[in-house]
Structure 1
Amino acid sequence: MRQTKPLPAAVQEWAEQRVGPVVSVRDASHNWDRSRVWELEGADGVHRYVKVSPSEKFFTRETRAYRHVVPALGHSRAPSLLDSRAQDLVLLLTAVPGVPAKDLDLAAGDWRAVHRQAGALCARLHEAGALNRTDRAEAEASLGAAADGAETYLARAGDRLTGDEQQLIRDHTARLRRVGPVPLGYIHGDNQPRNWLWSEAGLALVDFERSRPAARVQDLVILSATQWVDHPDRKKAFLQSYGRTLTDAEQQALRCLTALDAVNCLAWGPDNGDEMVTARGRRTLDQLMREGWA
């Protein structure tokens, strides 16, 4: 059972200086140690969120995303940044309506509607302005950076992978370095139903701490390894509203990135007691071992 995290008094005081008295606080963190998010209800009845970033890198990414990228999603499709405090890595955000889609028991047609709206929002995010020279360089290097992490994941996973499985990961890593140019843009970085809020008003995206310039296809890895494995209709709905099919290079990159996601899950999941992440990695790796390269 997750332990409730108290809101630091200094953070609440800072928030109240900006929005007025707070009458209630709810821990809204994800179920991992470094996640620190609280929902605040003000005396004015308005709900807002305070987030303490887990690192300076995540704080920088998220504040930049809210200022320069997220507005492309449109009104009520994501929170807005009210203020931030760099020395404490804290952000003050508006609330958007909805419940995380992962917590909902939706019918098949409703899930397709969720993915259809997610595809449209991701397209807006990925196309949110031209990349400047620095961002383009980072985006162009993103697949190589992903490949560079493979040996670290393999070392951490250790004997959770067989020798043949380790070789499969290395083969996919080598192929990832050769896929060629792919479309670039600003990605969410943790694009999955736990960060999709669903309501009668439609879908909204939250949690932009991993947002960065990268290969656009990197935003589809978790979906490919989870939502779309057993539900190709959801993938079809997403891509229809995304507005285009994936290029051959993107399809190859997605397969390679999914292999790297699997070994990362098998490195991180058991060490952190996360059975769902561990199962995701094992399932993906087993499937890749059965299929080989198509």
Structure 2
Amino acid sequence: MPARCLPPALEAFAAAHLGQGLRARFCGWDHAESSVWVLEASGRRAFLKAYHQPRKFRQEERAYRAYLPGLQKWVPELIAVCEAPAALLLGARPGALVQSAALTPDEEASLYRQAGAFLRALHAQPLVEHDPMPLAEALRRRAQAWCERAHGLVEAELVDWVRAQAAEAAGLARAAAIPRVPTHGDFTPRNWLVSGGALYVIDFEHAKADLWLTDVLKLWCTAWWARPDLARSFFVGYGRSLTALEEALVARLAALHALSTVVWARAHADVAFESQGRTLLARLRGDRFC
């Protein structure tokens, strides 16, 4: 469980930028990947995000400094960076989380169009990081790591099937020579805010140079199964649809995503999330590849 009281060092850091009379309320998740507080001082509202993993701190900082300055209508303002302890002070955007908002079908369609437009703009930003490892090899290593961690949690035969799907994905990525682009890394409605019909995007701790399809993968695995109309709205905003090769690649990447969901959820004692991963594994194997 993350510490819910704002540490004195972070309180002083925030007060230096927001003013005195600081009030803090913990509003993060219980998975302890990071700690988040909503702050108010001198009539100003902001969020402070403290990181327990240096890699995620650097990824989110790089996203705000390198990729998001031209996308300010969609994202919070970066107010300040604290190096020790690692934290970002971010401006508050209005609105409620999309995943818990009561929306009409037209409002949903509009938000998914905006989500597509945001991703297209993000993916078009020039890369400031360059991974020398070929993308296909990175996919292979990623699959190997998750499959090893799944030992004892998922049936060996199913793990082998996921490994085979990942190998096919690596082959498709190699054949298509798809380049890396700046990605959000966790692009789902739980990281979207809506206010007055406008979409705002938060939580860039997973942002990195990657295959652009990783940013549609979670939507493909969840909302789009039951609501293909939302996929159509998204791709109107993105400016194009998936090619047949890209559709095949996403379907195979989904198998690895489902397995990693099970492993991550078990490590974090998230029973509901683990169930989602297992359901997705069963659905993919039964509906897509048999």
Q: Secondary structure at the match of 1:68?
A: helix
Aligned to 1:156: 149
Q: Distance in 1 between matches of 2:144 and 2:242?
A: 28
Task: For 1:108-257, list aligned pairs within 5 A.
Answer: 108-128=105-125, 130-131=126-127, 134-135=129-130, 137=131, 141-179=134-172, 180=175, 181-200=177-196, 202-257=198-253
2:89 is matched by which residue type in structure 1? L
Q: Distance in 2 between matches of 1:174 and 1:154?
A: 12
Structure 1 window deviating more from structure 2 (227-236 vs 284-293): it is 284-293
Q: Distance in 2 between matches of 1:271 and 1:143?
A: 27
Aligned to 1:107: 104
CA-CA distance at 1:268 after TM superposition: 1.8
CA contact (8 A) 1:118 1:238 kept: yes
CA contact (8 A) 2:26 2:38 kept: yes
Q: Relative to 1, partners in 2 of residues 1:99 and 1:27: Cα closer, same or farther, differing over 3 Å?
A: same
Over the aligned positions, Cα root-mean-square deviation in angstroms equals 2.0
Unpaired stretches in structure 1, ≥5 consecutive residues: none
Aligned to 1:21: 20
Q: Secondary structure at the match of 1:158?
A: coil
CA contact (8 A) 1:226 1:280 kept: no
Find out whether 1:285 has 2:284 as its counterpart.
no
Aligned to 2:32: 33
Q: Distance in 2 between matches of 1:196 and 1:189?
A: 13
CA-CA distance at 1:161 after TM superposition: 2.7
Q: Secondary structure at the match of 1:88?
A: coil
CA contact (8 A) 1:52 1:91 kept: yes
CA contact (8 A) 1:144 1:176 kept: no
Q: Distance in 1 between matches of 2:213 and 2:252?
A: 11
Q: Per-residue CA shift, 1:128-152, capped at 9, x if unaligned?
A: 2x335x52x45x7345323312233
Q: Distance in 1 between matches of 2:136 and 2:103?
A: 34
CA-CA distance at 1:82 after TM superposition: 1.1
* Length-normalised TM-score, structure 1: 0.90
Find out whether 1:47 has 2:45 as its counterpart.
yes
Q: Relative to 1, partners in 2 of residues 1:4 and 1:100: Cα closer, same or farther, differing over 3 Å?
A: farther
Q: Distance in 2 between matches of 1:112 and 1:125?
A: 20
CA contact (8 A) 1:143 1:215 kept: no
How many residues get paired?
Answer: 287
**Once the two structures are aligned, what percentage of the paired residues are identical?**
28
Find out whether 1:96 has 2:87 as its counterpart.
no
Q: Per-residue CA shift, 1:220-271, capped at 9, x if unaligned?
A: 1111111111111111111111111123332222112111011111112133
Q: Relative to 1, partners in 2 of residues 1:218 and 1:156: Cα closer, same or farther, differing over 3 Å?
A: same
CA contact (8 A) 1:182 1:249 kept: no
Structure 1 window deviating more from structure 2 (3-12 vs 156-165): it is 156-165
- Which runs of structure 1 show a deviation greater than 6 angstroms over 4 or more consecutive aligned residues? none
Q: Distance in 2 between matches of 1:204 and 1:22?
A: 28
Q: Per-residue CA shift, 1:258-294, capped at 9, x if unaligned?
A: 1101111111213322133212211221112213438
CA contact (8 A) 1:265 1:278 kept: yes
Q: Distance in 2 between matches of 1:143 and 1:10?
A: 43
Q: Distance in 2 between matches of 1:257 and 1:265?
A: 12
Q: Secondary structure at the match of 1:36?
A: strand
Aligned to 1:262: 258
CA contact (8 A) 1:19 1:42 kept: yes
2:67 is matched by which residue type in structure 1? V
* Length-normalised TM-score, structure 2: 0.91
Structure 1 window deviating more from structure 2 (24-33 vs 184-193): it is 24-33
Q: Distance in 2 between matches of 1:4 and 1:226?
A: 31
CA-CA distance at 1:4 after TM superposition: 7.0
CA-CA distance at 1:107 after TM superposition: 2.8
